[in-house]
Amino acid sequence: MKTTLALRAIGLGDFLTGLPALQALRWARPDDRLVLAAPAHFQPLLPLGVPVDELCPTDELSPIPWQGPVELAVDLHGNGPASRRLLDRLRPGRVLGFGYPGRPGPRWLPDEPEVHRWLRLIQEGLPAGNPRRCNQPAACHPAATDSPAARPAVRLSVPQVPAPEGAIVLHPGAAAPARRWPVERFAALARLLHEAGQRVVVTGSAGEHALVERVCRDGAATGWVGPTLQELFALVARARLVICGDTGVAHVASSYRTPSVLLFGPVSPARWGPPASGPHRVLWHGDGTGDPHGAVLDPALARIGVDEVLQAAFAMLHRAGHPRSHIAPLTEKELA
């Protein structure tokens, strides 16, 4: 059996936005063993329906410890020599990636939506496969005439692990301060949702204990620090609503079509936002010129107030069939 290896060794949001491209890759090469080179902590997600046969554990821009021949190596990681060199070391029969000086390939479009970017790479770089020979459900296969804007459906199953059901999930963390909505606003939001009769669960990584504790300090919410990826996915899949910033948790909500209110700042949701067809509401007052890795709160994210998020949350709950409860009016301090 021939081996196709795809490199995408980055974060959770990147992992999930790359699934449609992996689905298209599976469809294009149905007889190959499909290996994903990615961080080891994504291994528990493979049984949920990730369209690969095997995970080769590796870290970002680290050597890929794969032993054996590779027929096709696919760069789903970047558009430059750093990631391409890692694949070249495997001595594959062919490397597929975006073109850059000295290397041929499809053209990199800087403002292209992330999901569409990698799906287009597969669609332009490989001949269409035969869905009847693919072991994925027929609904997952993009038609041969699909544009890059058409996404193959990737239906992840819900992990069978204990997790709260029917909660409003708040995730105040983000990789960079520029994308972190102020913690005091998350705390005010948690209190107001609690007063409206909603069950609130606040999540965070193991390193975000203090952040979660600040949001939960007045007892208006239950904190859950350091859930496993399967626990996090189960929580989001069973949630009534998710409220978070431009983070991996937002993409988990998109994967399960869980209603969400997403707070964007430095990056345009046109590039990293949820699918337009899903039950999601994006709040954004920026122009896309901010630094997503910045060390201070992005001004566009700072323009989103508690009242705006609260109104969006109840609009999404109403849309999903959960009527709005009575809430006290916001004070000027809470609106800040």
Cα 328 to Cα 235: distance, rounded to the nearest angstrom: 28
Q: Which helix (H) or strand (E) holds 204?
A: strand 200-204
- With a cut of 70, list the residues of the chain below it in pLDDT: 128-153, 322-336
Q: What is the DSSP string of 57-86?
A: E--TTS-----S--SEEEE-S-SSHHHHHH
pLDDT the model gives residue 97: 97
Q: Which residue has the tokens 């009769």?
A: 197
pLDDT the model gives residue 321: 77
Contacts of 59 (CB under 8 A, 6+ apart): 9, 39
pLDDT the model gives residue 106: 94
pLDDT the model gives residue 59: 96
Q: What is the largest CA-CA distance in the chain?
A: 65
Q: Which long-range contacts (CB under 8 A, 24 or more apart) does 273-278 make?
A: 274/250, 275/115, 275/151, 278/254
CB of 13 closer than 8 Å to CB of 116: no
Question: Model confidence over 292-301: pLDDT tens digits?
Answer: 999 999 999 9
Q: What is the DSSP string of 181-196?
A: --HHHHHHHHHHHHHT
pLDDT the model gives residue 128: 64
Provide φ and ψ at 111, rounded to 5°: -100, 15
Inter-CA distances, 304 with 70, 93, 182, Å: 48, 50, 10
